[in-house]
Chains A and B, each alone.
Chain A
């Protein structure tokens, strides 16, 4: 069974780039333009992804961070990667949070880096995900 990855970004070029790279390597990718679309989609258990790639500034300045908190509460085992133009400049917003949980990739997307991080994150995750 192909592993499912959700990607949220308001930039269509970035969505297309991520989809092409991950599809080529056998992942099933669900792209969302907004975090709201993504959260709404999660009500259907079959689309709950193994890993979520979130942009930080989507609908608002911190929409990605709010979504991260919600995902962390609802799906504690789901891996999350931030893919943002601001890179580690967003780190101050993660004060007192576990580094194990936070993974930030700075845009632009470097295919080999993205793949190695995705593989690393999915390799450490057990497939069963609980919907609370």
Chain B
């Protein structure tokens, strides 16, 4: 007995692009809110670092002094309090207040920028505006604004940054007014003499650096956004092409099937006695013609189904939790007349569960496996459909077993290929479209399900579908 496992690990990463972000234009509220939330998380991280710094300063102040970091006033505590209060205010404004003229994402984000830059300026002042790398953290703000905002808005941020840093330097250098210089690094380790010439060099150098960073990053961002726009347009064109392809497939299916339907309708008219009595021999011939026409109709519809399933796999499907017992019963109800015509009994032993998937596709998959089991069973045989829930790993397995012709080991790897026929299968069923199991493969792939096939020629075949992350209905529900 040969066994083969089939699983299709299609990438779960969907091709989604943020919309409404044209270069140089204002961003949509949705994107702004996303950015606000991201900034809030980032701010919590900064608050965490500040708290850690204060804890270290409390328990290991001597070590810090040895490292050249002198005891500070209470600015870290004040900054922590301001940033925490600001974060709570932003969360309140976003989640608990109705949007209004004064509570828009755009206003919140600009308040965030101003408050953050003020806090950073205080930190720069206390830590050291020219003696430490603290002012370089302004660059982070400029880079982030270039990434998240339009070019014009990020330029405003760069100008505000330059202005704030200049104010800090001018204030400390007593050019216009006197503010005591506060440096985190001990003057012993750094040159504390901050004369006016040096202040001017720092101011010009860093303000120029801020503007250069703004220019470079905003240019890069514009290029990226342009490419993003191209990608979005290409994606839309692909979607339009898919729709056109589906329409074309529908049209072709209709054009191919319509004449066959007319022929078969006429056959049914004759067989129904609407054209008078027909000799038995002619009726038998008509039945044979109808049977071939039926196979051809199925092939035409299967080709359309195959195209649709392939398309559905590329698009985001409407996934929902599906009652597997109900789906199996629906498929069995549909196929029971075919089974009864050959006196094939379908035996069910179902442990119900719910699995997340696209309902139509799960139905197509199970229906095709059951139809396959009926087709390749011998007359007067039985088919077992069993579902077993594995509570330990939240999975379930549905196995459809027939006791028919079976599949040879060499054919097993190919049975899911489109239009694959094995000579033994063709001998048993001449009207096979060769598409049924391809539909099963694509539907399983689209729904992230695993398939297992065990078969022995002359003894039968068992198709197992393995469902993971299932939900089991509660007793009595």
Answer whether residue B132 sits at the interface, using C-beta atoms and an 8 A cutoff: no
| Bound complex: CA A125 to CA B233 (Å) | 50
Answer whether residue A13 sits at the interface, using C-beta atoms and an 8 A cutoff: yes
Give the nearest-CB partner of A95 in chain B.
B318
| Bound complex: CA A109 to CA B290 (Å) | 12
Q: Which of A17, A24, A85 has the most CB of B within 10 A?
A: A85
Q: Which of B294-322 contact A (CB under 8 A)?
A: 297, 301, 304-305, 308
Q: Are B274 and A21 in contact (CB under 8 A)?
A: yes
Q: Are B301 and A111 in contact (CB under 8 A)?
A: no
- Which one of B260, B268, B293 contacts A109 once the chains associate, using CB atoms below 8 Å? B268
Contact with A along B245-271 (1 / 0, CB 8 A): 001001101100110111111111100
Q: Are B268 and A14 in contact (CB under 8 A)?
A: no
Answer whether residue A107 sits at the interface, using C-beta atoms and an 8 A cutoff: yes
| Bound complex: CA A61 to CA B263 (Å) | 22
- Which one of B251, B254, B264, B301 contacts A108 once the chains associate, using CB atoms below 8 Å? B264
**A66 shortest CB reach to chain B, Å:** 15
Given contacts A17-B266, A61-B251, contact A85 B274 (CB under 8 A): no
Q: Are B257 and A85 in contact (CB under 8 A)?
A: yes
A86: B residues at CB distance < 8 A: 250, 253-254, 257, 301, 304
**A114 shortest CB reach to chain B, Å:** 9
Interface residues on A, range: 10 to 19
**B460 shortest CB reach to chain A, Å:** 31
B268: A residues at CB distance < 8 A: 17, 108-111
Answer whether residue B272 sits at the interface, using C-beta atoms and an 8 A cutoff: yes
Q: What's the dominant secondary structure at chain B's contact region? A: helix
Give the nearest-CB partner of B251 in chain A.
A61
B258: A residues at CB distance < 8 A: 11, 85, 107
A14: B residues at CB distance < 8 A: 261-262, 265
Q: Are B254 and A112 in contact (CB under 8 A)?
A: no
Answer whether residue A118 sits at the interface, using C-beta atoms and an 8 A cutoff: no
Q: Are B265 and A108 in contact (CB under 8 A)?
A: yes
A57: B residues at CB distance < 8 A: 250-251, 254
Q: Which of A75-90 contact B (CB under 8 A)?
A: 85-87, 89
Answer whether residue A72 sits at the interface, using C-beta atoms and an 8 A cutoff: no
Answer whether residue A20 sits at the interface, using C-beta atoms and an 8 A cutoff: yes
**B165 shortest CB reach to chain A, Å:** 58
Q: Which of A2-30 contact B (CB under 8 A)?
A: 11, 13-14, 17, 20-21, 24
Q: Which of B268, B293, B297 has the most CB of A within 10 A?
A: B268
Given contacts A61-B251, A112-B272, contact A17 B304 (CB under 8 A): no
Q: Are B262 and A87 in contact (CB under 8 A)?
A: no
Q: Are A111 and B251 in contact (CB under 8 A)?
A: no
Q: Are B254 and A111 in contact (CB under 8 A)?
A: no
Give the nearest-CB partner of A18 in chain B.
B265
Q: Are B250 and A111 in contact (CB under 8 A)?
A: no
B264: A residues at CB distance < 8 A: 107-108
Q: Are A13 and B265 in contact (CB under 8 A)?
A: yes
- Which one of B261, B272, B293 contacts A85 once the chains associate, using CB atoms below 8 Å? B261
Q: Are B253 and A107 in contact (CB under 8 A)?
A: no
Given contacts A13-B265, A87-B301, A107-B265, contact A21 B250 (CB under 8 A): no
Given contacts A21-B272, A85-B258, contact A13 B266 (CB under 8 A): yes
- Which one of B253, B267, B274, B304 contacts A20 once the chains associate, using CB atoms below 8 Å? B274
| Bound complex: CA A108 to CA B254 (Å) | 12
| Bound complex: CA A111 to CA B261 (Å) | 13
* A to B CB contacts below 8 Å, 6 in the list: A85-B261, A89-B250, A108-B297, A109-B265, A111-B269, A112-B272
Additional pairs, 4, CB under 8 Å, beyond known A17-B265, A57-B254, A112-B272: A89-B250, A89-B253, A109-B261, A111-B274
